[in-house]
Amino acid sequence: MNRSLFLVLFTSCCLTIWSQEEKKRDSTLSGYKSGIYLANPTNKSVEMELDDRKAPYYRMDVKVTNPWFEWKKGVNEKTGLQISVNYSSIFMGATSKISSVNQQSTAGGVFDAIFNWNLVNRKKGKNKGSLIFWVNARHKYFGDIVPQNLNFETGSATLPMLMFNDFSVRALEFYYQQSFLNNRAAIVVGKIDMADWFTYNGMLHPLKHFSDLAFSVNPTVNWSNVGLGIIAGGWLNKKKTLGLVVGLNDVAGDNLTKDKFLDWGTYGWSNGKFLKMIELNYSPGRDQYYFQRISATYWHSDEIILSEDSWYASPSSSGFSIQGTWFIKNKYMPVVTLGMSDGDGANTLSKLNVSLMHGWNFTSHDMLGVGINYTESTISGESQFLSEVFYRYTLSKALSISPIVKAVINPALNTNKEFLGYYGVRSRISF
């Protein structure tokens, strides 16, 4: 339990180096632009741009880190290299567990170092080509169970804290992205995460919004791990309101159980086995692409046969999903998602998943999120209702803290309980 105080101590240390002024001035800008508009905000180059956008009314002005951001800005202007460093942590507990041998609380952290090197058309501003390199490390603070898997100890059908896993320092993504036709189209080649490009909704980022998989990337999809793949997409009309994205990557992906810094995830390429996805989306314009969008996605995952080259087996599977996000008056963000699949994939946790979410944005960049979800588990065959509420308290552009509470009615993996509760707190600091 003492280790759960890590978040409080961590936050206190951060607050001692910041001061508050009556007039808020943002000093954490490095002038970053992603140059690509077809990816989700979880895509690392897009995340860097959104984190770097100028906005007033933060509670605290970051002064001590001014030299760091000025240095980053200079490096970007001279070489086209953009750098971002983030650390997120979470503690979460449950009101009950499946049995006495299971774990009831957990905590962990995620470290990111992201490098986006603009190699082509840096000064031109259009048709940019960039190399993306994402170094990632994930770890638990105590116990045997990683935060991401707390549901298997307590009974919920979906992962309660996406991304909070435990593996060695590794190059999680490494790819080249190129825009062309005056930014009307783009292609991406390399080690990629398909979830960065498909089944988008406006509050899917598990380190900033809802933490549960039920509200994030759709649990009806048989997601592969990050692996070697290709994605292409573009605008289908002159107004750039209708977009099409297609992609495939290795059906298995990176074997995260191995202590290997760069694993390209190539089992599928040597066996002709892939996760394939296609998505059609609509938004009022490119500037609203992340905040007002409706999309429909179809996917198919090939069979994985257990062998020396693969570490698990999975039947072939397929499904579709529909997602809608509409940011209203820069304050209200209703989100609706629906996913259905045959439920056969090894990584598919749900046959049917329906989520209704709403986010309220405040002047201080705080966000209140409320979501309700219905899901049918592929593991137990049972259905459950889930609700999650979070409040992202934004102290500065670099630091936020989010209390989280969840309620599960008829938990699908613990049929002995009619109710299951979760409580926790999450923090994120970015430089």
| pLDDT tens column, 278-330 | 999 999 987 788 889 999 999 999 999 887 777 889 999 999 999 999 999 98
Six-digit token pair at 174?
Answer: 């490494």
Please give the CATH architecture assigned to the domain spanning 2-430.
Beta Barrel (2.40)
DSSP 307: B
d(CA 172, CA 253): 11
Cross-strand bridge partners of residue 385:
374, 409
Six-digit token pair at 367?
Answer: 């966000």
pLDDT at 343 (0 to 100)? 95
Tell whether the torsion through CA atoms of 158, 253, 290 and 281 is positive or negative.
negative
Q: Other CB atoms closer than 10 Å to residue 322's CB: what's the count?
A: 15
Residues in the chain, pLDDT under 50: 1-27, 30
d(CA 203, CA 196): 13
First CA to last CA across the chain, in angstroms?
29
d(CA 145, CA 139): 10
Q: How many CA atoms lie within 13 A of 114 on its CB side?
A: 23
Q: Other CB atoms closer than 10 Å to residue 173's CB: what's the count?
A: 20
> Would you say 40 and 430 are in contact if contact means Cβ atoms under 8 Å apart?
no
The predicted-structure confidence for 77-132, as pLDDT tens digits, reads as follows 999 999 999 999 999 999 999 999 999 999 999 999 999 999 999 887 789 999 99
pLDDT at 266 (0 to 100)? 84
The H or E element that residue 397 is part of is none
Output the CA–CA distances (angstroms, integers) from residue 188 to 125, 182, 191, 246, 397, in the order listed: 18, 16, 9, 11, 30
Residue 270's SS3 state is: helix
Output the CA–CA distances (angstroms, integers) from residue 42 to 39, 252, 374, in the order listed: 8, 20, 24
Q: What's the one-letter identity of residue 136?
A: N
The radius of gyration computed from the CA coordinates of the chain, to the nearest angstrom, equals 21
d(CA 320, CA 317): 11
